[in-house]
Structure 1
Amino acid sequence: MNTLTAELKAHLHTGVVIPAHPLALFENRTIDEERQRLLTKYYLASGAGGIAVAVHSTQFEIRDPAINLFETVLQWASEEVARAKLTRPFIKIAGICGFTAQAEKEARLAVQYGYDMGLLSMGGLQNWTEEQILERTRIVARILPVFGFYLQPSVGGRVFSYDFWRQFVEIENVMAIKCASFNRYQTLDVMRALANSGRSNEVAMYTGNDDNIVNDLMTTYRFPVNGETVEVDFKGGLLGHWAVWTQKAVQLLEEIKQYKQNPNPDQADALLSKAIKVTDSNAAFFDPAHQFHGCIPGIHEVLRRQGLLKGIWCLNPNEVLSPGQKEEIDRIYRDYPELNDDAFVSDFLSGR
């Protein structure tokens, strides 16, 4: 069983920005190696604490035998992290999905390419029992540390019971959970399950609730457990939203950490106001107005404007910006210029 080093475990619990890595393509929908590697370099330069590769933002079609890019994206990202010769911790997370046999195979490939954890998707398993999904998790956890993933039903996930999460967090080598339920009740189930498990110091919670990023990170959950109060909070975020404007996301997380160490009403008010701007931005990028149809092209459009991508092409030619989405991104740029990291990206590109 591969386990997290003490350094990386501490790194996760300190709280970091983990972007969900996009896929760089040419117009003919073949992979653009230069831009794919460039994105990894951008996340490294931005101060991100890790990357998640072969996840939703990298497009699930990379696993199609005719496309066959799963290993390629894992390899290239791992190579760029190695070449950076970082003197700080940096965690590499590989997306893992599918039935148990596929998940096992992907987990072993992740280990082969030097990944520290597997972000284990529960999508596409709607007909499985909760116990079957728990057993699948146990099998993958024997191969590498698991980053659990609560995915909202509107994009292929499902709702799980409190009892499921109570058992999930007790699985040895489950070391983190991304909560992307986009639902306060379901988020609360996970946080309460962790508080009651006795593993709240072992399992790091990361927000994937793109509609509630800042509020998630500001909040401390407190639960009565055996006569004592147990506190659980979101340490950082593993987010498709943070695949863009990443340098500003790093600054935002540090601002929230400082607030949590020394809370004061003025800073809380400022952060809650910023929370609305971030959620409004996410609505433009992720396209909830059209059931998230344009979420990947929306990310690509921002990266294209910055010069990090050449275009917004996806492996699925039907994945395009929704009607009015480009104009919404225009509005976000106009209304909240302080949120973008265009100046940083310009300097980054001119210096490469």
Structure 2
Amino acid sequence: MHHSEMKSDVRGLIAEGTVIPAHPLALDATRQLDVSHQRALTRYYIDAGAGGLAVGVHTTQFAIREVGLYRPVLELAAETAAAWTNNPLALVAGLAGPTAQAVAEAQTARGIGYHAGLLSLAAMKSASEDDIIAHCEAVAREIPLIGFYLQPAVGGLLLSSDFWRRFAAIDNVIAIKMAPFNRYRTLDVLRGVLAAGALDRVTLYTGNDDHILLDLTLPFDLRDQGVTTRVNIRGGLLGHWSVWTASAVMQFKRCQAARGGDQLPADLLALDARVTDCNSAFFDVANNFHGCIAGCHEILRRQGLLQGIWCLDPAEGLSPCQMQEIDRVCREHADLSDDDFVATNLSKWLS
């Protein structure tokens, strides 16, 4: 499928920039799929105002592939969304593994009705940039692609600005999620897309959980041969946005509105630090992100959207002292939560 075949309202939504939570996996105490809570999560994100869902990505746990849950989880999200809303919703499927696996997953996602694939390159660590580009081109022949620059601390690999120029030049690339948690490497992506002449086709999304609101608010001036091009990061595709999503949508709208003004509100810029503080606890920065999935699960468990924080891997859970950090940010930043919104609607989502 080429991006020109995508429904115009969905294509426009992705191009404009929107809120795309990375969808977690709901499990029961036996670590089996909890269908009712999985559906509730999908309904929660839609009612919170998200413009898309990313399913089968890191927050959904890559191990779903090993236990035969990749197709069922993608199908469940797509079916739940179709029955819950008539509004445009961008469905993004996580794609992973070597080329044959990533191509097969792209075909599966396309067959279910997903609009784009978020392509993880973690399996290509030993490959050259030439080989990685060939890999991306093969997957792009199956489904529109969203690139993914993942930080090395959680399995990503370092890629040059020239790589991102070549990647952005692939005709079926529609967006890039930048999550290197590094300003220099974020700029490498921006410069690469500019050099490819692809800024009108490739929408920039932040995955930098350490600077979410600044990424969405501040303009970036890029210089090439004496010419300045001003660029904005237009949307976010974030694991952090899998929690307190209604609040995240409101923050996103504030960032969008601020980009159109002559002056950026100081309160909005300062809010970035508070959001980052929350992320430090949810994503377990103190322990090199070991408890990042369980940390998000804990917030959802407290709200009743999950029964527990179980992961597919029994060894994966909260790190020592992470619960205390989560308690701290929930107390200090309670106004950033959406607890009341969830409490009002939870029974409906679980029905």
Match of residue 340 from structure 1: 337
- Give yes or no for contact 1:149–1:178 (8 Å, CA) kept in 2: yes
Match of residue 221 from structure 2: 222
Match of residue 145 from structure 1: 144
Structure 2 residue 24 is the aligned partner of structure 1 residue 22: yes
CA distance in 1, matches of 2:342, 2:272: 23
Match of residue 172 from structure 1: 171
SS in structure 1 at match of 2:237: strand
SS in structure 2 at match of 1:234: coil
Structure 2 residue 303 is the aligned partner of structure 1 residue 301: no
CA distance in 2, matches of 1:344, 1:5: 31
Counterpart of 1:10 (choices 5, 9, 12) is 12
Match of residue 76 from structure 2: 76
Match of residue 331 from structure 1: 328
CA distance in 1, matches of 2:23, 2:162: 32
Cα deviation, 1:78-124, whole Å, max 9, x if unaligned, reads 001110232x3210000000000000100000001100000000112
**AA of the residue aligned to 1:80:** T
Structure 2 residue 230 is the aligned partner of structure 1 residue 250: no
**AA of the residue aligned to 1:63:** R
CA distance in 1, matches of 2:204, 2:92: 15
CA distance in 2, matches of 1:227, 1:331: 48
SS in structure 2 at match of 1:75: helix
TM norm structure 1: 0.96
- Give yes or no for contact 2:140–2:173 (8 Å, CA) kept in 1: yes
How many residues align? The count is 347
- Give yes or no for contact 2:176–2:203 (8 Å, CA) kept in 1: yes
Task: Within 5 Å, give how 1:37-56 maps onto structure 2.
Answer: 37-56=39-58
Match of residue 97 from structure 2: 98
Structure 2 residue 304 is the aligned partner of structure 1 residue 322: no
CA distance in 1, matches of 2:171, 2:201: 10
Runs of 4+ in 1 over 6 A off after TM superposition: none
Match of residue 212 from structure 2: 213
CA distance in 1, matches of 2:34, 2:145: 30
Pairwise CA distance, 1:74? 0.4
Pairwise CA distance, 1:199? 1.1
Cα deviation, 1:254-286, whole Å, max 9, x if unaligned, reads 001111111435x1x101221000000000000
CA distance in 1, matches of 2:85, 2:318: 37
CA distance in 2, matches of 1:337, 1:138: 45
- Structure 1, unmatched stretches of 5+, are none
Pairwise CA distance, 1:225? 3.6
Task: Within 5 Å, give how 1:258-297 maps onto structure 2.
Answer: 258-265=257-264, 267=265, 269-297=266-294
Match of residue 112 from structure 1: 111
Seq. identity, % = 48
CA distance in 2, matches of 1:213, 1:157: 19
CA distance in 1, matches of 2:348, 2:103: 41
CA distance in 1, matches of 2:7, 2:231: 22
Cα deviation, 1:108-151, whole Å, max 9, x if unaligned, reads 00001100000000112110011111011101111110000000
Pairwise CA distance, 1:226? 5.2
Pairwise CA distance, 1:176? 0.3
- Give yes or no for contact 1:144–1:173 (8 Å, CA) kept in 2: yes
- Give yes or no for contact 1:50–1:90 (8 Å, CA) kept in 2: yes
- Give yes or no for contact 1:12–1:235 (8 Å, CA) kept in 2: no
- Give yes or no for contact 1:195–1:231 (8 Å, CA) kept in 2: no
Q: Which moved more, 1:191-200 or 1:2-11?
A: 2-11
Cα deviation, 1:207-253, whole Å, max 9, x if unaligned, reads 00011111111121122345543222111100000000000000000
Q: Which moved more, 1:195-204 or 1:240-249?
A: 195-204
**AA of the residue aligned to 1:45:** D
**AA of the residue aligned to 1:61:** A
CA distance in 2, matches of 1:97, 1:351: 34
Cα deviation, 1:39-90, whole Å, max 9, x if unaligned, reads 00110110000000000000011011xx11000100000001110232x321
Match of residue 196 from structure 2: 197
Q: Which moved more, 1:192-201 or 1:103-112?
A: 192-201
**AA of the residue aligned to 1:234:** I
Q: Which moved more, 1:214-223 or 1:335-344?
A: 214-223
The two structures, once aligned, show a CA RMSD in angstroms of 1.1
Match of residue 182 from structure 2: 183
